[in-house]
A and B are shown apart, each in its own frame.
Chain A
Amino acid sequence: DQQVKQNSPSLSVQEGRISILNCDYTNSMFDYFLWYKKYPAEGPTFLISISSIKDKNEDGRFTVFLNKSAKHLSLHIVPSQPGDSAVYFCAARLNTNAGKSTFGDGTTLTVKP
């Protein structure tokens, strides 16, 4: 049973446009959600997070939205840049369990110049 799902394996957008990456989860106990970005031959790096008490968190070009009733979160990147091309992983966990995150399978974002 995959508790965190990213249904789009890949996404291609034009530079300057908005990128929207989606993630669904099934475990209603999750109360902290994170997005990581991964380049080839590197480990994932943290991008942005949101706790379950919020529905939006913004950091520069990156915004994460959380819809608890739908068990859905999304990452918006505006404007998209070629350097954003990478694999994006959605992760979820319990606030009390920082060392155990459940990850989605990732979405490969390609931003075309």
Chain B
Amino acid sequence: KAGVTQTPRYLIKTRGQQVTLSCSPISGHRSVSWYQQTPGQGLQFLFEYFSETQRNKGNFPGRFSGRQFSNSRSEMNVSTLELGDSALYLCASSPGTGGFHEQYFGPGTRLTVT
């Protein structure tokens, strides 16, 4: 099976712009989660989508949003970019919403805001 893919891998944006990141989960996985990792920090949970519905949301401002399509692919959008949004954005997929299994992570999108 192909792993989780994320596009683009690298992105440079200017403060005030918006950005859309894309994630394709492992085939058959219906849960997609997004995490933000800043330098020296752990992964901060952004949100989780399952069957095109947002199931969980982390403690991030409304500038961060996401969606999931019927084929389980997901996008996240950040509007009005700030310098502090520079981070590695990681997408993870899992078969379902519960159970004793791990999440599978993509390689991430490195976003730099200048």
Does chain A bind chain B?
yes
B31 touches A106 (CB 8 A): no
B97 touches A43 (CB 8 A): no
B99 touches A99 (CB 8 A): no
Question: In the complex, what residue of chain B is closest to A91 when comparing beta carbons?
Answer: B43
Contacts A44-B43, A89-B42, A89-B43; is A99 near B33 (CB within 8 Å)? Answer: yes
What is the distance, in angstroms, from B49's C-beta to the closest C-beta of chain A? 8
- With an 8 Å Cβ cutoff, the count of chain B residues facing the other chain is 32
Chain B residues whose C-beta falls within 8 Å of the C-beta of A91 in the assembled complex: 43
Expressed in whole angstroms, the Cα–Cα distance for A88 and B32 within the complex equals 22
Contact with A along B20-48 (1 / 0, CB 8 A): 00000000000111010000111111001
- With an 8 Å Cβ cutoff, the count of chain A residues facing the other chain is 28
Contact with B along A26-60 (1 / 0, CB 8 A): 00000010101000011111100101000000000
Expressed in whole angstroms, the Cα–Cα distance for A101 and B104 within the complex equals 12
Contacts A43-B90, A100-B48, A100-B56; is A105 near B105 (CB within 8 Å)? Answer: no
Contacts A43-B108, A46-B103, A49-B102; is A97 near B56 (CB within 8 Å)? Answer: yes
B8 lies within 8 A of chain A by Cβ: no
Count the A-B residue pairs with Cβ separation under 8 angstroms: how many? Answer: 77
Question: In the complex, what residue of chain B is closest to A99 when comparing beta carbons?
Answer: B48
B42 touches A98 (CB 8 A): no
Question: What are 26 pairs between A and B in contact, CB < 8 Å?
Answer: A36-B102, A36-B105, A43-B4, A43-B106, A43-B107, A43-B108, A89-B43, A91-B43, A95-B100, A97-B97, A97-B98, A98-B31, A98-B101, A99-B31, A99-B33, A99-B48, A99-B55, A99-B56, A99-B92, A100-B45, A101-B33, A102-B45, A103-B35, A104-B42, A105-B42, A106-B42
A positions within 8 Å CB-CB of B: 4, 6, 9, 32, 34, 36, 41-46, 49, 51, 89, 91, 95-106
